[in-house]
Amino acid sequence: MSPTTPQPESGKPLDGRQDPGALQPLLRSDPSSIAGYRLLGRLGAGGMGVVYLGRTDHGELAAVKVTHADRAEQADFRARFRREVEAARRVVSPWAVPVTGADPDAPEPWMATAFVPGPSLGEAVAGHGPLPERSVRILGGAVARALAAVHAAGIVHRDVKPGNVLLAVDGPRLIDFGIARATGETALTSTDMVVGTPGFLAPEQAEARSAEIGPPSDVFALGCLLAHAATGRPPFGTGAVDALLYRTVHDEPDLTGVPDGLLDLLRACLAKDPAQRPTAEEIAARLTEDTPGAAADWLPAPVVRTIAERSGAMLALPEIDSTRLGASETDGQPAPGRRKFLLLAAGGAVLAAGGGIAAYAALRGDDNGKDGKAAAPPPKERRWIVGVQADLTGPAKDIGRAQERGARLAVELFNSRKDKPFTLELKVSDDAGDKDKALAAARALTGDPDVLGVLGPTSDYTGLNALPAYDEALVPLITVSAGLNLLSNQPGGQGLSVLQACPQHAIAGTSLAYYVLTNTRSVRPGILQERTDDTYAWQYIGGANFAFRQGKVAPVPRVVPAGTTDFKRVLGAMMEEGMDAYVHCGLTPSAVLAARALDELGFTGMRISGQHVFEPRFLAEAGDAAEGWVIGAPVVDPTTVKGASAFVAAHRKRYGAAPAFYTGESFDLVNLLSQELEKAAKAGKRPDRTTLAPLLRKAKYDGVMGEYIFDPETGALGTGVVGTFMYVVENGRYKPLDFAPAGPPKTRRT
């Protein structure tokens, strides 16, 4: 029986590879938003549905694929669509475009993926000709790593072709899992159907030998793809489908023009016998690039210009209308579980539309070149470097400098040991607390292959903007002060190597509310969201509302816009509604105004706020009105911890003063990192930094400031670890109290 014409199982691929400059306007029949994605226009359409360019309220762009309702009613369609979503979500790689959201069960099933503005490999070769050997090597190494992740997830992509590889200055991205299938899974199509793209199929695919289709089939397709990239033509020619399929099965590939350094590898990839082909991991090792050079020079200049033009088109996209988030919009809804709260404000994967710079660390790995070339200097002995990304000269410089000092003390302590198996170095990168400088500051660290882990960043949004660099290089990133939950590993694949050694803001918000419930007789706590930093405030108020619901208490809610100054009127109205305690979810300037207003109003109930008010500025500007306020922060005063006395003494000797807040936690987490590095050294090997984060997440570490446990999947502080320490303002100073309770009191006092 002859195979039928090749067909993608989900119909014509619909993804976001189209030129954003040619974005088509929405039709009258199109929705304005889908599941939190504001739709900006159409990227493309086909018989299966439409692909829109969407954007979240946080500004992340996504290609939102929506299928037609009539297609959803067809037999097996939802099963295929669900399989596509599940396959894409299972793949975790910086070189595969992540899913940022999906609902296969919606009336019109949809899936969103991170939007990449660059051209496909097919477009680039057609427009600018073959790529030079070095470009092909880096391209192949990255796509091979993506396929290794695909295969590790138990999936076969089955459609690796130039149109399914997008180019960005920081590396390529593999897309479209529409016809991917789990290894050994029963096909949803007939057994004699050829699935994939002629010219980029393995012989077993060309003959529809479905039982033989597996990871080696993707390797064959990768060989075809790299031959096309190097020569500008497919290795089995073009023409009628039947002729292409015949040549794939029976003829040798035409590799004329392939650089000599790639010939042997491509011949191995294109072996007719699947058992004779190398694995994706082996290909990645053989294509490791040892001298990446300048930032974007892995691609020819014309291709880089095309990417820059398309990235620049992002600046012309329409703005999203501002929306107002009510404090009580979740009232009456079922209370989510505590772990679900870690995901409350998760957005899509972070996308730097202009492309990343110097993502070569992840392409080359941390070991010596496996193709016989020498590794980066020094040639005989690699350096063991701990990085610090911090705000050393900006608005949070006091915290950043404290974190740097803690890291430096940990490194100096390690190096003072006579039995140390290696010498640690510290490399510091100052982002000045500027989110626009954060990515470059991160790449200064991740671009150095000897940096094995990084402490930082200091602030939420520098952390968020720096995240692509750490995701690309898979360098462990440990933060003691950035509590934004978007930093941890979310569905969609971001935060792959992050460890948050501080409570996420939503969890910190629950801690404040639990403290109110445990320490007061409040039955009508007021809770105010001030929207200067909307995400931070929303997460705090969401966490507090959750805790109050658990305690069966109905708060008095308010939301005020950024720039509000008349807090006396707002808080007076809340007091008239019976407010007997006050939770401030906002930043220091508004907390100062609230403190003064409550003081003038004669309010005597508990006044409490969170991490971003825990700073000397609140004490100085609120003055006497700050007295009695309770502030929750993710740090403990080292001078109050009995087990930290030696650390405090060492800090005094080194810096002539007691350690500031965040110094002790930074000291502990760098010690945790050095502990894992030492374990690897004792095993007789240098650690691969891309494998360190899972080990760190599984570690249980007792430091001078306490115990650290992490969620092994997300990297967030482990469930049951509260991490919020309470302080009361007394005589113009922060007086330590105790840790916030882990839950509401069992019996409410009345």
Beta pairing, strands 49-55 & 606-609: unpaired
The token pair at 521 is 């007789």
Asked if residue 324 belongs to a domain, the reply is: no
In whole angstroms, what is the distance from residue 438 CA to residue 252 CA?
50
Asked if residue 518 belongs to a domain, the reply is: yes
Asked if residue 223 belongs to a domain, the reply is: yes
Task: Name residues whose C-beta falls within 8 Å of residue 645's C-beta, 6 or more positions apart in sequence.
Answer: none
Residue 677 and residue 686 in contact, taking contact as beta carbons nearer than 8 Å = no
Asked if residue 353 belongs to a domain, the reply is: no
In whole angstroms, what is the distance from residue 304 CA to residue 299 CA?
6
Residue 602 and residue 547 in contact, taking contact as beta carbons nearer than 8 Å = no
**Are 490 and 535 found together in one domain?**
no
In whole angstroms, what is the distance from residue 359 CA to residue 146 CA?
14
**Are 561 and 688 found together in one domain?**
no
**Are 65 and 210 found together in one domain?**
yes
In whole angstroms, what is the distance from residue 478 CA to residue 403 CA?
11
At 473 the pLDDT is 87
Q: How are the residues of the chain apportioned to helix, strand and coil, as percentages rounded to the nearest 5?
A: 40, 15, 45
HSE (CB half, 13 Å, CA atoms) of 43?
25
Residue 163 and residue 125 in contact, taking contact as beta carbons nearer than 8 Å = no
**Are 270 and 393 found together in one domain?**
no
* Amino acid identity, position 537: A
At 83 the pLDDT is 78
Asked if residue 331 belongs to a domain, the reply is: no
At 65 the pLDDT is 87
Residue 385 and residue 424 in contact, taking contact as beta carbons nearer than 8 Å = yes
What CATH number is given to the structural domain containing 604? 3.40.50.2300
In whole angstroms, what is the distance from residue 437 CA to residue 446 CA?
15
**Are 576 and 612 found together in one domain?**
yes
Asked if residue 484 belongs to a domain, the reply is: yes
Domain assignment of residue 522, given as a range: 505-633+727-739
In whole angstroms, what is the distance from residue 218 CA to residue 203 CA?
11
Residue 100 and residue 492 in contact, taking contact as beta carbons nearer than 8 Å = yes
- In which residue ranges of the chain is pLDDT below 70? 1-23, 46-48, 69-76, 177-195, 289-296, 312-381, 489-493, 746-750
In whole angstroms, what is the distance from residue 281 CA to residue 299 CA?
23
At 348 the pLDDT is 27
**Are 252 and 265 found together in one domain?**
yes
At 229 the pLDDT is 96
What CATH number is given to the structural domain containing 129? 1.10.510.10
**Are 266 and 229 found together in one domain?**
yes
Catalytic one of 19, 76, 103, 159: 159
Residue 710 and residue 499 in contact, taking contact as beta carbons nearer than 8 Å = yes
Q: What are phi and psi of 510, to 5 degrees?
A: -65, -35
At 57 the pLDDT is 76
Give, in degrees to the nearest 5, the angle at Cα 671 between 669 and 677.
110
**Are 692 and 582 found together in one domain?**
no
Integer-rounded Cα Rg, in Å, for the chain is: 28
Asked if residue 349 belongs to a domain, the reply is: no
**Are 229 and 85 found together in one domain?**
yes
In whole angstroms, what is the distance from residue 681 CA to residue 683 CA?
5
**Are 404 and 544 found together in one domain?**
no
Which of 303, 324, 349 is the endpoint of a domain?
Answer: 303
In whole angstroms, what is the distance from residue 578 CA to residue 557 CA?
11
In whole angstroms, what is the distance from residue 585 CA to residue 565 CA?
15
Partners of 54 in the beta sheet?
39, 62
CA 503 vs. chain centroid, Å, equals: 17
The token pair at 350 is 């972070």
In whole angstroms, what is the distance from residue 43 CA to residue 2 CA?
36
Count of domains observed in the chain: 3
**Are 390 and 491 found together in one domain?**
yes
- Segments in 73-120 forming alpha helices (H): 77-90
Asked if residue 746 belongs to a domain, the reply is: no
**What is the reported pTM?**
0.54
Which of 287, 303, 319 is the endpoint of a domain?
Answer: 303
Handedness of CA 110, 114, 196, 275 (dihedral sign): negative
**Are 179 and 295 found together in one domain?**
yes
At 78 the pLDDT is 75
At 272 the pLDDT is 95
159 labelled catalytic: yes
At 676 the pLDDT is 93
In whole angstroms, what is the distance from residue 151 CA to residue 181 CA?
10
Task: Name residues whose C-beta falls within 8 Å of residue 743's C-beta, 6 or more positions apart in sequence.
Answer: 514, 550
